[in-house]
Amino acid sequence: MADDASSTSSGKPGQDDRGGGFLSDLFAPVAGFGVSFSTMFRKVATEEYPEKPRPTAPRFHGRHQLNRHPDGLEKCVGCELCAWACPADAILVEGADNDDSPGGTGRFSPGERYGRVYQINYLRCIFCGLCIEACPTRALTMTNFYELADNDRGKLIFTKDQLLAPLQSGMLPPPFPMVEGLEERDYYQGKVTTSTDAQRAYVDSRDAAADEDAYAQGPGNPGAAVPGEHDVAHAADFTAAQTREGANP
């Protein structure tokens, strides 16, 4: 005998078994609240930032850094390849010639040219890392520093003095001559490990002459400036991990 289409599990034809559907509709909201109720007793993993900032990944793309050679000369040669590679047009580079002649501007890098002007607009930068891939001298790398917020849009355009790596032990502030007897390629082959006595003597005499000129001009320094002064006091205070060269290729 064929089953009646109107029959239910109770075996009585013409009657609908609504008990299961009614109970499921009744407990459906309770099941939803049950998920919320169960999470009330779990430990909340709250990140206590900025009191306890989380460490970033080793290859994190943070703010940029212009690196130096072990004696303090700049690695940037002003080739502008980073600016051409930037898809957001956030980098501005203006190169200039190193001038070792008497009365010249001096030498800032081992190459023929150096980056006289270097700016990165962090209102445009998308931190893609294409600029550091394009750099032929490994002058530009990205640090682990990410606290770039500011309440002034103009201060988010970082200049060369803000992007240059701080002077480490054995480094001197440019301009000064290259290590005597070495060429540009010797710098990139790792033959320079620190500044020489001749370079230190040159910098000392240069600074002494600058002090005499400043004294001759009288008290004060009307030409002094503090470019890129930030409201965030620790924006230029890096740790060793944040400034290590080549950490983020």
DSSP string, 112-145: SEEEEEEEEETTT-----HHHHH-TTS-EEE-S-
Phi first, then psi: what are they for 98, rounded to 5°? -70, 135
Binding residues for [4Fe-4S] cluster: 76, 79, 82, 86, 125, 128, 131, 135
CA–CA dist 145, 66 (Å, integer):
14
Kindly calculate the radius of gyration of the chain based on its CA atoms and give it in whole angstroms: 32
CA–CA dist 112, 199 (Å, integer):
19
Q: Which two tokens stand for residue 29?
A: 């909201």
Binding residues: 76, 79, 82, 86, 125, 128, 131, 135
